[in-house]
C-alpha cells in the first residue's frame, strides 16, 4: 500500500531508541516506532508547503497535517456496529463526528524483556532518586502498596490522610537496576 501525506513541522515521533524527535529532524538512517513495531524509513518526502488542517478529537488530542494526510476512521457508509470496519481517509475527507481509530495499547515487541518495566516507568513519572540517595515513589492506593511490597524490599511512610491520601515508598537496593538502564543519576 502506498500512502502519501505530511504532518506539520514540530510533530513528534519516536525513534528506535525511544528518543522523541521533531519530524523535520528525522533522517533516512533513523528507524521509527510505529503502533506495533520499529519501522525502517524507506523514503523521506522533502520539506514542502501544503495546505494543512488541525483535527481535534473530543478528548482534546489533535494532529496538524496536510489535507492529503491519510488517517484511519470508521466507515460511515453501511457501518455495522457489531463488526465495525475502517478505512484510510484523507484529512480533508473527514467530517465533524467521524470516529478516528487509534491504538489503545501498544503491543510488546523487540528483544528486551524487563520484569521491572512497570517499576521503572513509575519511578520515571512519580519517583525521586539521585546518587547515593533513597529511591522513593509516591503512591495513592492500597493496591499499589501491596504490589510493590510483594516484589521489592521497601519501607513506607504515610504522609497524609483523608480524601487525598498518599504515601511515600522507600526502596532498598535499587540503584544497580537503575544503573543498568542509565537512570541512576
**Buried residues in 120-148 as b, exposed as e (16+ CB within 10 A):** bebbeeebebeeeeebbbebeeeebeeeb
User: 81 φ, ψ to 5°?
Assistant: -60, -30
Domains of the chain in sequence order: 12-93 (no CATH), 117-180 (3.10.28.10)
Confidence of residue 1 (pLDDT cuts 50, 70, 90): very low
Q: In this structure, are residues 105 and 35 in contact, taking their beta carbons and an 8 Å threshold?
A: no
Q: In this structure, are residues 15 and 23 in contact, taking their beta carbons and an 8 Å threshold?
A: no
pLDDT in tens, 52-87: 999 998 888 888 888 988 888 887 655 455 455 778
pLDDT in tens, 120-169: 888 877 777 765 678 888 887 778 888 888 999 888 876 555 666 678 88
Amino acid at each position: 500500500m502506498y500512502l502519501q501525506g505530511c504532518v506539520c513541522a514540530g510533530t513528534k515521533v519516536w525513534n528506535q531508541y525511544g528518543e522523541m524527535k521533531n519530524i523535520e529532524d528525522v533522517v533516512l538512517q533513523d528507524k521509527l516506532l510505529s503502533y506495533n513495531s520499529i519501522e525502517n524509513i524507506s523514503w523521506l518526502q522533502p520539506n514542502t508547503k501544503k495546505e494543512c488542517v488541525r483535527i481535534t478529537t473530543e478528548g482534546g488530542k489533535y494532529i496538524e497535517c496536510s489535507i492529503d494526510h491519510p488517517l484511519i476512521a470508521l466507515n460511515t457508509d453501511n457501518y455495522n456496529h457489531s463488526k465495525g470496519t475502517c478505512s484510510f481517509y484523507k484529512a480533508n475527507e473527514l467530517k465533524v463526528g467521524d470516529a478516528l481509530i487509534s491504538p489503545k495499547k501498544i503491543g510488546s515487541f523487540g528483544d528486551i524483556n524487563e520484569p521491572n518495566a512497570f517499576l521503572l516507568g513509575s519511578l520515571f513519572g512519580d519517583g525521586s532518586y539521585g546518587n547515593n540517595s533513597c529511591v522513593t515513589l509516591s503512591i495513592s492506593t492500597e493496591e499499589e502498596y501491596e504490589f510493590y511490597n510483594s516484589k521489592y524490599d521497601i519501607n513506607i511512610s504515610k504522609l497524609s490522610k483523608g480524601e487525598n491520601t498518599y504515601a511515600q515508598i522507600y526502596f532498598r537496593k535499587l540503584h544497580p537496576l537503575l544503573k543498568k538502564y542509565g537512570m541512576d543519576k
